């Protein structure tokens, strides 16, 4: 999540956040919209109702003016722009940013139907087993066009990550996961590398994506 601020490369920063929500037909609540004002123009964002924890947290920190004046500290072409580091308001050229947020995390809300496509806003997170999100840092996807070969490689890589995630939550591997987390807490990298490698090997044979993604309620996935 880190980036370095260079002189002349402050592409944009958050200046004002506001939100609005109106009633739709039959008194149904309309999607929440957020206006993002930057030095390079304005962006209107629509927040997903399918991820209510992230939506409500984003609205809260907007209301609390936490994001007013923060920088987009990480800009990667054909990937995304990331902001929300609470210390970036005071950054000087050459400062490394990407570590600061509020002292809590947002529980993961992984939805198979929601994926990274151009224009999507999502919460940043560290590489933690519970996949929790930063309380303040977010990014907007730019993305790029991929051919079939690159898509196949990406699918293999992402499925590998998902397989490890689900394997680590299998009840029979709880003790192993506890040992891995202890190694992280104690900064015991030798033990961490050994146990993590064992999980990687177990994940190679993992095939139960449908069950773990919650698709079984959809008849087209049922036997």
Per-residue pLDDT of the chain (223 residues; tens, 9 = 90+): 555 544 333 334 443 344 444 444 454 566 788 888 888 888 888 888 889 999 999 989 988 889 888 888 888 888 899 999 998 888 888 888 888 889 999 998 988 788 888 899 999 987 776 789 999 999 999 888 888 998 899 888 888 888 888 888 889 999 999 999 999 999 999 999 999 999 999 998 887 765 555 433 444 333 3
The predicted pLDDT at position 1 comes to 53
What are all long-range contacts of 171-180, with beta carbons under 8 Å and residues at least 24 apart?
Answer: 173/199, 173/202, 177/129, 180/129
The predicted pLDDT at position 216 comes to 36
The predicted pLDDT at position 197 comes to 93
The predicted pLDDT at position 160 comes to 87
Read off φ and ψ for residue 72, nearest 5 degrees.
-85, 100
CATH 2.40.100.10 domain locations along the chain: 3-141
The predicted pLDDT at position 22 comes to 44
The predicted pLDDT at position 192 comes to 93
The predicted pLDDT at position 110 comes to 85
The predicted pLDDT at position 31 comes to 74
The predicted pLDDT at position 103 comes to 93
The CA-based angle 44-112-151, given to 5 degrees, is 90
The predicted pLDDT at position 139 comes to 93
Distances (CA, A) of 25 to 22, 29, 46, 87: 10, 8, 18, 42
CATH of domain 3-141: 2.40.100.10
The predicted pLDDT at position 214 comes to 47
Alpha-carbon dihedral angle through residues 203, 207, 209, 211, given to the nearest 10 degrees: -120
Question: What does the block give as tokens for 82?
Answer: 């990331």
Q: Where are the alpha helices (DSSP H) in the chain?
A: 52-63, 148-167, 174-185, 189-203, 209-212
């Amino acid at each position: 999540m880190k980036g370095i601020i260079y002189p002349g490369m402050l592409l944009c920063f958050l200046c004002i956040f506001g939100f609005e929500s109106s009633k739709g037909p039959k008194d149904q609540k309309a999607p929440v919209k957020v206006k993002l004002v930057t030095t390079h123009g304005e962006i209107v964002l629509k927040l997903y109702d399918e991820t209510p924890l992230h939506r409500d947290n984003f609205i809260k920190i907007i209301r609390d003016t936490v994001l007013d004046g923060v920088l987009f500290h990480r800009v990667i072409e054909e990937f995304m722009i990331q902001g929300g580091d609470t210390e970036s308001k005071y950054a000087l050229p050459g400062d490394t940013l990407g570590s600061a947020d509020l002292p809590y995390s947002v529980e993961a809300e992984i939805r198979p139907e929601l994926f990274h496509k151009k224009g999507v806003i999502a919460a940043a997170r560290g590489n933690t087993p519970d996949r929790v999100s930063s309380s303040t840092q977010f990014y907007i996807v730019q993305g790029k066009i991929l051919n079939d070969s690159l898509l196949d490689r990406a699918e293999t890589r992402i499925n590998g990550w998902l397989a490890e995630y689900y394997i680590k939550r299998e009840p029979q591997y709880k003790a192993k996961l506890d040992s891995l987390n202890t190694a992280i807490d104690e900064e015991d990298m030798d033990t961490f590398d050994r146990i993590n490698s064992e999980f990687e090997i177990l994940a190679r044979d993992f095939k139960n994506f449908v069950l773990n993604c919650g698709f079984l309620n959809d008849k087209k996935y049922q036997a």
